[in-house]
Chain A
């Protein structure tokens, strides 16, 4: 069972630098998208346009940011080398 968990944790993994990048991108993208959707819809007086534009934009963001693209794995964590377990020393 733990193997399954380990395997599941491996899917979609991105490194920490990647996570930072994703966060910055979606924060800016959503703010811009909200503003854009409102302005375009308001100017053309079409609420469907606003909602559609926003929804479409969100889908694009999903495709760009949810999968573990190689871009988000360019700075993998460098783990320390594995230490071999020492034999337990007998006390007496």
Chain B
């Protein structure tokens, strides 16, 4: 047990704080249904982004895997802060941690009120979670967009 505690503590010595880049290539809205509700009228956004980040320093002997995701943040018309995950991935090998992504959102992005009207511009961040073999989970932020991006106007009324 002493051994396990020592291993867990060693992660503190070996921690890293890698940074990368996140760019939004394309952001569009549509109003329509989702797979579960095909006839609803729900405001949704579709995001295409690319990102480079070298997360390899996060892999040490005590790292089992990394959970990486991109989230969008905005303040809704009602004033509530919202964070939505667009995309995520599990990285289990050090070699795979050299990220060079061109992707779009994996999940449907909509507001709880189903409308985006009146919402603040969006910020996007690339975050990670280090899962050790022994020890505490740690979190970090690898990249963020520099300028907030407003919601696109709907294409037609």
Contact = CB atoms under 8 A, between A and B. Distances in A.
Contacts of A42: 10, 61
A38 B61 contact: no
B114 to A, nearest CB: 48
Nearest to A54: B3
A46 B61 contact: yes
Where chain B touches its partner, the secondary structure class is: helix
Contacts of B69: none
Contacts of B133: 47
Size class of A's contact patch? 10 to 19
B2 interface: yes
B131 interface: no
B3 A47 contact: no
Given A38-B7, A42-B10, A47 B2 contact: no
Interface of B: 2-3, 6-7, 10, 60-62, 133
